[in-house]
């Protein structure tokens, strides 16, 4: 009887968990639909986000006649080593409490200014309208360059990582010195995505979590093709033990690996005070 009751309780919990997941999924779809159908709704969310900032400066970029939120963090000490553009995951925003906020808050203390961008909604199974999304990155990149930002690194999380890679492959912008893929969520064949990444001309850091999504881990386990007729571009893959996709409670480890990679593959040296 006790065994049957235990099985019944687990079954009930599983059913409630599935219901909560379904509710959250459709709630996310509804919010995305509101942003797509009513631009004023998305603008209102950005305004609220800007007003509630505890750290950083709200910057309003001009993209196709609309204001787009970005959050700037100025380098706090030592020489300015470079700038990092942060691209959030699907269902997140420019001040998302996991990954984005910790990095945009911590990197300035080590000589890196940051600019976290608000991205358009991810639709069609995670894709974004490429032209609109690329325009957001263009606007952020241009803003940083006008402020004297050099040695720019793109850092994307989840779908934002896939977007960062697509941007570099499509636009081939000058002035981007590195790409950081945090738990990248690519769609389509992992082997095909690996072949595309092999065409990049900047150093790449790929970080995955040991408890990451199956899609992320499947991509991580896909072999990278050998370079054809050119010098191999530095590509490093790191796994953070015990972490999940959002790196909650593992922010320090993520920052440590990221700083080490930036120090080795990006221009300049870490300030001695940041060691």
**Which letter does DSSP use for residue 98 in this model?**
T
Q: What are 37-43's contacts with CB under 8 Å, separation 24+?
A: 39/66, 42/121, 43/67
- Beta partners for 156? 87, 181
Residues 147 and 121 in one domain: yes
Contact 81, 112 (CB under 8 A): yes
With CA atoms as reference, report the closest residue to 156 among 133, 139, 188. 133
With CA atoms as reference, report the closest residue to 94 among 127, 62, 72. 72
Instruction: Write down the pTM of the prediction.
Output: 0.81
Residues 197 and 104 in one domain: yes
Residues 92 and 213 in one domain: yes
Residues 144 and 14 in one domain: no
| Domains identified in the chain, total number | 2
Residues 16 and 152 in one domain: no
Return the minimum-mean-pLDDT range out of 17-21, 62-66, 144-148: 17-21
Residues 32 and 93 in one domain: no
DSSP string of 188-201, one letter each residue: S-HHHHHHHHTT--
Residues 95 and 22 in one domain: no
Percent of the chain with pLDDT over 70: 77
- The tokens 């997140």 sit on which residue? 92
CA distance 245 to 49: 23
CATH of residue 128's domain is: 3.40.50.1820
**Structure confidence at residue 97 (pLDDT):** 95
Contact 199, 169 (CB under 8 A): yes
Residues 66 and 31 in one domain: no
**Structure confidence at residue 38 (pLDDT):** 43
**Structure confidence at residue 123 (pLDDT):** 62
Percent of the chain with pLDDT over 90: 61
Residues 206 and 135 in one domain: yes
Residues 25 and 71 in one domain: no
Mean pLDDT, rounded, for 207-232: 89
Residues 114 and 190 in one domain: yes
Burial of 242 (0-12, 13-18, 19+ CB in 10 A): exposed
Asked if pLDDT for residue 15 goes beyond 60, the answer is no
**Structure confidence at residue 3 (pLDDT):** 44
Mean pLDDT, rounded, for 6-14: 48
Asked if pLDDT for residue 269 goes beyond 90, the answer is no
Return the minimum-mean-pLDDT range out of 120-124, 198-202, 251-255: 120-124
**Structure confidence at residue 149 (pLDDT):** 79
**Structure confidence at residue 230 (pLDDT):** 63
Q: Which domain holds residue 186?
A: 46-274
**Structure confidence at residue 78 (pLDDT):** 78
**Structure confidence at residue 42 (pLDDT):** 56
> Which pLDDT band holds residue 102 (cuts at 50, 70, 90)?
very high
Residues 207 and 146 in one domain: yes
């Amino acid at each position: 009887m006790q065994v049957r009751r235990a099985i019944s309780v687990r079954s009930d919990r599983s059913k409630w968990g599935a219901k909560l997941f379904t509710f959250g999924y459709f709630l996310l779809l509804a919010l995305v639909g509101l942003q797509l159908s009513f631009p004023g709704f998305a603008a209102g969310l950005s305004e609220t986000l800007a007003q509630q900032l505890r750290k950083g400066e709200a910057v309003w970029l001009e993209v196709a006649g609309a204001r787009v939120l970005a959050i700037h963090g100025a380098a706090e000490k030592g020489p300015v080593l470079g700038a990092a553009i942060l691209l959030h995951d699907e269902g997140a925003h420019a001040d998302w409490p996991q990954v984005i906020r910790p990095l945009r808050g911590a990197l300035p203390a080590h000589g890196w200014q940051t600019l976290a961008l608000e991205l358009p909604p991810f639709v069609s199974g995670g894709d974004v309208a490429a032209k609109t999304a690329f325009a957001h990155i263009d606007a952020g990149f241009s803003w940083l360059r006008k402020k004297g930002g050099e040695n720019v690194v793109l850092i994307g999380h989840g779908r934002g990582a896939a977007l960062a890679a697509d941007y570099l492959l499509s636009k081939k912008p000058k002035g981007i010195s590195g790409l950081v893929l945090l738990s990248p969520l690519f769609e389509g064949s992992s082997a095909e995505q690996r072949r595309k990444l092999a065409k990049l001309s900047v150093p790449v850091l790929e970080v995955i979590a040991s408890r990451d999504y199956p899609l992320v881990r499947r991509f991580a386990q896909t072999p990278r093709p050998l370079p054809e007729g050119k010098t191999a571009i530095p590509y490093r893959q790191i796994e953070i033990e015990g972490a999940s996709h959002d790196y909650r409670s593992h922010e320090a480890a993520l920052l440590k690996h990221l700083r080490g990679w930036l120090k080795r593959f990006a221009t300049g040296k870490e300030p001695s005070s940041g060691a």
